[in-house]
Structures are given as C-alpha cells and as structure tokens.
Structure 1
Amino acid sequence: MTPSVTVLGQGAMGRALAAALLAAGHRAAVWNRTPGRPVPAGTLELPLSEALTSDLVIVCLFDHASIHETLDPHAGKLAGRAVVNLTSTEPASARELAGWAAGHGIEYLDGGIMATPEMIGGPGSSLLYSGSAAVFERYRPVLEVFGAAEYFGADAGHASLVDFALLAGMYTMFAGFYHGAAMVRAAGIPAAEFAPRAAAWISAVTGSLPEIGAKIDSGDYAEPFQPLTFTKAALDAIVGASREAGVDLDIIGAVRNLADRQIAAGFGGHSSERMFESLNPPAAR
C-alpha cells in the first residue's frame, strides 16, 4: 500500500519535494507555513492538524526553531508516526530533535539535501540520511523519489555533518573562483569568460582528491607529492599578483596562512597536504 505523505513547508525546496512526489504517483498533501504561498498543482493543501496525520511527515522549514514552533503544539498527533526532517539543521540540532521525537513516541530520520530545488527528482540529486534505520528502510521508495538516498547510521547528526562538510568545500571552491575572477577583471576579462576555464581546471585537479584523502588519513606527509616550500612560493606569487590587481587577500591569504603555520613548525619539506593539520582537526576515531 502506498503511504500517505505530507510535506510541511512550501518554500522553493518544499514545493520541489511535493512536485516530485506527485510526478512519481504518490499521494501528497502539503501544509504552507506562509498563508497564500502557491503550492504545486495537484497537491492537497491541509491545515496543520490534518497534515500531521499522514503516515510520513516530511519537514522542510526555515530553521531549527521553526520546526519546534510548528511541531511542539501538535506532538501528540505525531506519536507512532514517522518524521523526516529535511530542514537544514546543525548536527547538534538534529540530535536534539531526535531526542525530542523519541520523548513523544515519534520515529525520526534526519536528512541533508545535496541538490538545488531544480535538481530534485533528477539524476544529479542526492540526499543523506541518519537516525531511524527503520524509517529509512520502510520509506526508502518515497525518499528515492527526491534523489539518490544514502544512510549514514543511527546518529541523527551524522547526515547533517557530512552535508555541511560537503557544503564547506563547495562554498570555499566558489570563493576561490570569485578571487580568480576578481584578479582577471584587472585585465578586462569578464567573469563569464573566465568561468569555463576555471570549471575545466577545477574538474581536472579534483580527480586527485581520493589520493589526497588517503595521504591525510595516513598522517604521513614525509614523502611529498609537492613540498610545502614549493606551495608556499606559489602562494606568495599569487598574493603578489592579487595585490597588483587590487584584490583583497581574504581568501588566498587564509590559504597561505595554512602553509605558513606548517612551515614555521618545521615541516617545509613535507607534502603540501600537511596544511590540513593547520585546521586543528580532531584525532581520528
């Protein structure tokens, strides 16, 4: 039997989730936190008290506080039901919600969406989940409507941690592009013209990430792919070129600082991946 599903929240992502459910033939109800906001054609818009009676309640709201604001007054209605939280919440907040849910007899699964609203339901969309394994397995066919579904274990905060770690890499990558685009603007090169070159270059070099990850995990940087002293010289030159172009050093200066700290500690001959240690990562478990 096809489960009944409600999507709470009809912002851009909530609408995309509801539309994907409809396109896949699922019964989909929605609740709109903002009255009057449009919903996908074919969905059943319900008052909150009715929306919470579905087999599966998917929460896609603004933040952690808005989840409690919405669900706390109606926790009794959710007892014995499954809640999947797709609101962006920090790992600690996800764990707090899991504890809250357990206290009210609610099955809880937390998720991180690795997609834009336009990507939901398409081949490039993926979602990360952690929390109740029973909910993940029972409703996996529904969850896979949105994109590839991957389970990260019983710790409800784990999916959020991986989600934000991936986003940290993404935002830093974009910031690096912004810096490069700012540099070439001094030569009259538009960002739109620079972008394809940057995309091709970034795609080429990211192929080495698995090898880099293995070196970091080994903790042995003594046999360098590229020594820190070489990377330091390159970063110094980029800093000089940036200054010449009139570009601030907020981004590339921070990267050079990672190298400087390891060189100052006596590791100039070690592999440049040792900059990872400047981030003061916790000991591997």
Structure 2
Amino acid sequence: MADVAVLGMGNMGAAVARALLADGRSVLVWNRTATRCEPLANEGAEVAPTPTSAILGAPVVIASVLDYRALKNAMADQLDLTERTVINLTWGTTDEARELAELVSTRGGRYVEGGVLCRPEAIGHPEGDILYSGPTGSIEEVRSLLASLGPIHYVGSDLAQANALALALGSIFYASVLSFLEAVAYADRLGISADVMAPLVRIPLGLAGSTIDASVDQIERQDFIGSEASNAVHSAALASVAQAFTAADIEHRLTDAVSSYFDSAAQLGLSHLEVGALLRIMSRTAAEFNAT
C-alpha cells in the first residue's frame, strides 16, 4: 500500500504528487486521462488504473480534480473509507464541501477540506500556502504529510471554513490581477511598458494593505469616521481614473464596477464616511438592493 494517493494530474495535482515524492513518500496517482500520469510514473509514482483502486491503495487520499462533481464521480463506488483520510483541494461551494464531508463520514472516513492559495510551482516550498479545516484530530493524523506541501494554515474545525476563506481570498486575487491588467492596458496606450510598471505595483498594494487594516478596525468598532480619506474623495479620484481610461479607449469594467459602489455610497448618504463603510452596501441582500 502506498503512503498517499493523489487524484487528478492537472498542474496542481501533479505538483502535489511531486512534492510528496520529493519528501520520500510512496505515491499512487490517478487521472481520468491516463497519459497525464506518465510523467509522474517516470519520477517514481505508481499509477492506479481506476479511482477506486487509487482510493483503496492508500490510507490518505488527496483530491485535486476539476470540481466537486468530478470528485464525487471518482468516489461513485460505495467504498469503505474506514481508517482513510480524504483531503480535498478542489474548489467549490461551502454546501458542496459539507455534502462531501458527510459522504466521506458515512463511509467511515475522515475528511479534511483544503483551499489552495498558491501557484503549482510553490507547492512543497515556503510559498505553498494552503488553508485547511476539519476536526483537529483529522488534521493531526496527516500533519507531517501536509507539511510536505508547504505551510499549514489551520483555520478551524468547521469543515467548510477553508473553502469559504479560499473563495473569499480568491476574489481578492482575481480583482487584483485584473486591476493590474487594466492599468497595463492604459499605460501601454501611453507608451509605458508592463515591466516598468510592475515593480511599482507594491506601492498601491501596500497602501491597500494599510487601508484594509484601518477598515478592519472601523468594522470592529462600527465607527467609519476617520482622518484619512472619505468615500467622496475616493469617488473623485476613481472618476479621474475612469475618465483617463475612457480617453485612452480601453476596457475598464473592473474600474466601473468599483465606481458603482461609490455611487451607491453617495445615494445612501455614506460619502462622508471612510471606505470601510462600503461593507454596509456589500452586505445587503439582492432584495434590499432591488428595493432602493
């Protein structure tokens, strides 16, 4: 029996398998398209012909497949998972995480939810950040194995918490990258190359970090009157950004979306407050939005 089975040989699953092999683990791999396993076989992994043989071939199963449906399909057989731990690194909704945890539990297994917050090449290194949630006992059973993948960020016993946090933090990632690309498109119109701007990105990101810290404090105190910049000031600055992007004839959908929040703040009388007060807008339900 192998030490661990890895389901899914996409970029992330292959990186997980390689990190485990590099740490001296015996690894069993499976992928729906068998040829994706060949590079790992050449590096010392054993290839399982079916997902069932992979799951039954190791006490620990790490899943890195496309989505929860693909993982449930891989576990379609009524397998006895007693004494097995399933570590799920697949993204999906919190409801899907809880449903899968229940499925594993009813079959006698332990379940650990994971949320990957790094690029595949970071797995096995200090930058290989992965969030984990689940019963502390289940985490401790596989702690040394998880350490092979990178830092262990344990976020709580609620099985869906790693999923929820990964989704929340993922939204920050995508917004940041797309905001950068909008900025690159604008700078390019002015003859400024991306490699000139990239080193300077740390400046607004650092400012965003300090603004986030201030917003957290304001949210905890529910006091959004501060001495930095009001939403009216932010709105005016963002209007200048949007005007410049429009003049340069580039797509700027993300900038427009951000501007819409400040427009709502003005309509709701929040312009004199600081940016953390926009949480009141984002926390409203769809029905509340439609009612305004």
Q: How has the CA–CA distance of structure 1 residues 266 and 201 changed in structure 2, closer, same or farther, with 3 Å as cutoff?
A: closer
Aligned to 1:269: 272
User: Which residue is equivalent to 2:4?
Assistant: 5
Change in 2 beyond 3 A, CA 1:281/1:112: farther
Change beyond 3 A, Cα 1:267–1:121: same
Aligned to 1:127: 130
Q: Deviations over 1:20-62 (max 9, x none)?
A: 1111111211122211222421111123343222111111111
Task: Tell me the equivalent position of 1:217.
Answer: 220
State the alpha-carbon separation in 2 of the partners of residues 215 and 169 from structure 1. Answer: 20
Which amino acid letter does the alignment assign opposite residue 46 of structure 1? A
Q: Secondary structure at the match of 1:78?
A: coil
Taking a change above 3 Å as real, the CA distance of residues 117 and 39 of structure 1, as seen in their structure-2 partners, is same
Q: Distance in 2 between matches of 1:61 and 1:268?
A: 45
Identity across aligned pairs (percent)? 28
2:35 corresponds in structure 1 to 36
Distance 1:47 1:130 in 2: 30
2:290 aligns to what?
Answer: none
Residue of 44, 65, 68 corresponding to 2:69: 65
Unaligned runs of 5+ in 2: 286-292
Could you tell me which of 176, 181, 190 is aligned with 2:179? 176
Where does residue 17 of structure 1 map in the other structure? 16
Alignment deviations for residues 192-220 of structure 1 (CA, whole Å, 9 cap, x no partner):
33222224442454244322222223221
Q: 2:211 & 2:271 partners in 1: Cα distance?
A: 21
* Matches for 1:46-65 after TM superposition, within 5 Å: 46-48=48-50, 49-53=52-56, 54-65=58-69
Moved more, 123-132 or 203-212: 203-212
Name the SS of the counterpart of 2:76 in structure 1.
Answer: helix
Select between 55-64 and 212-221 the one with higher mean Cα deviation: 212-221
Task: Give the ranges of 4+ consecutive aligned residues of structure 1 lying more than 3 Å apart after TM superposition.
Answer: none
Call closer, same or farther: CA 1:175–1:140 in 2, change over 3 Å. same
Query: What does 1:240-251 correspond to in 2, within 5 Å?
Result: 240-251=243-254
SS of equivalent residue, structure 2 residue 185 = helix
Per the TM alignment, residue 82 of structure 1 is displaced from its structure 2 partner at its CA by 1.1
User: For 2:61, what is the secondary structure of its paired residue?
Assistant: strand
Task: Tell me if structure 2 keeps the 8 A contact 1:5–1:28.
Answer: yes
CA–CA separation in structure 2 for the residues paired with 1:223 and 1:197: 27
2:33 counterpart letter in structure 1: T
Quick one: structure 1 residues 227 and 200, their matched pair in 2 at CA, closer, same or farther if it must change by over 3 Å? closer
Distance (whole Å) between structure 2 residues aligned to residue 281 and residue 123 of structure 1: 38
* CA spacing shift, 1:278–1:15, aligned 2, 3 Å: same
2:162 maps to a residue whose letter is A
Gaps of 5+ in 1: none
Query: TM-score, length-normalised on structure 1?
Result: 0.91
Deviation at 1:224, TM superposition (A): 4.2
Pair 3,217 (structure 1): closer, same or farther in 2 beyond 3 Å: farther
Letter in 1 for 2:49: P
Worse-superposed segment, 140-149 or 195-204: 195-204
RMSD: 2.0
Q: Normalising by structure 2, what TM-score? A: 0.89
What are the Cα deviations for residues 64-101 of structure 1, in whole angstroms up to 9, with x where unaligned?
1111111121x324233111111122211111101111
Aligned to 1:45: 47
User: CA, structure 1 residues 159+95, in 2 after alignment: closer, same or farther (shift >3 Å)?
Assistant: same
> How many pairs are equivalent?
280
Q: Is the counterpart of residue 189 in structure 1 residue 192 in structure 2?
A: yes
Q: Distance in 2 between matches of 1:181 and 1:108?
A: 43
Cα pair 1:98 1:108 within 8 Å, conserved = yes
Report the equivalent of 1:198. 201
The residue matched to 2:237 in structure 1 has which SS? helix
In 2 relative to 1, CA 154–3 (structure 1 residues): closer, same or farther, beyond 3 Å? farther
